[in-house]
Amino acid sequence: MSGRKARCRGWFAGVVVAGVLGLQGVRADGDFAALEPANTTTGYLARLLINETPFPGERAYVSEEETKTAMLQILWVLHGRIHLIPAGYTQQQVAGVRTDDIIVVITGGGGRRQCEGFYEDAAGRPRTEPRVEERIRYLLGIANKGSGPGRFARLLNYGQGLARAYVKEGIQGADAYADLMFVGSMRVTGHAYSWMTNVNNYHPGGNYVFIPDEEDGAFGGNRFFTLRRDPK
């Protein structure tokens, strides 16, 4: 259950510093921003991070810093669904799949979509819906205008660089929810394992627990969810 309204069922210090990780896209001469091809792990992952976060002029956009934080926390959700399955749960229960491949965590595999707009085709190849690529082209068109890189270019390059660094070196940067042990009086596992659009009463259900504002539970128009320490 995912998408612009219900995304993957699935503090600003968490932003990775671009200079440390070299978070720059592979750019053609004269371009300020570019993404790697969608048929690569780094390009596909970058599209997910960019598609799920707001850019200037879009609803829920607050600042570059918050959009970057949202990208990083979404990456932590995906990472957690592979490497941080809490005691009492199986990966199948948390991620809907059994895999160590982040692309399968995104697509769901076998026709079971986890993130709206991202899926496997009949041949098992990861694909994106046309609207995802249309938005990417629109953002790149804005990013590559003008006399120098601006907010759009910086955010696109950040998303691509974050994806590249993850595939090459693993996740870096702070997990905002790693030490979250209680939500109110409820014991929780720590880490976020889901995110959804932060509007109305969207909730992934089951053992997921809404992370409230006082625990910085929303970034970039996304609400994050952890898990009950003791499953129902």
Instruction: Report in angstroms the alpha-carbon separations of 83 from 31, 91, 137, 211.
Output: 36, 9, 33, 21
Residue 126 CA to residue 108 CA, distance in Å, equals: 10
Mean pLDDT (whole number) for 77-93: 97
Residue 198 CA to residue 137 CA, distance in Å, equals: 25
Mean pLDDT (whole number) for 114-141: 94
Taken in order 2, 163, 65, 225, the sign of the CA dihedral is: positive
Q: At CA 40, angle to CA 37 and CA 151, rounded to 5? A: 50
pLDDT tens for each residue of 135-192: 999 999 999 998 889 999 999 999 999 999 999 999 989 999 999 999 999 999 999 9
Extents of the domains making up the chain: 12-169, 182-227
Task: Report pLDDT for 8.
Answer: 56
Contact 70, 53 (CB under 8 A): yes
Taken in order 182, 214, 177, 75, the sign of the CA dihedral is: positive
Confidence of residue 20 (pLDDT cuts 50, 70, 90): very low
Mean pLDDT (whole number) for 61-69: 98
Confidence of residue 29 (pLDDT cuts 50, 70, 90): low
Residue 193 CA to residue 93 CA, distance in Å, equals: 11
Mean pLDDT score across all residues of the chain = 88
Task: Report pLDDT for 42.
Answer: 98
Residue 231 CA to residue 88 CA, distance in Å, equals: 7
A 10 A CB-CB count for 150 gives 16
Instruction: Report in angstroms the alpha-carbon separations of 99 from 105, 114, 116, 231.
Output: 7, 14, 19, 22
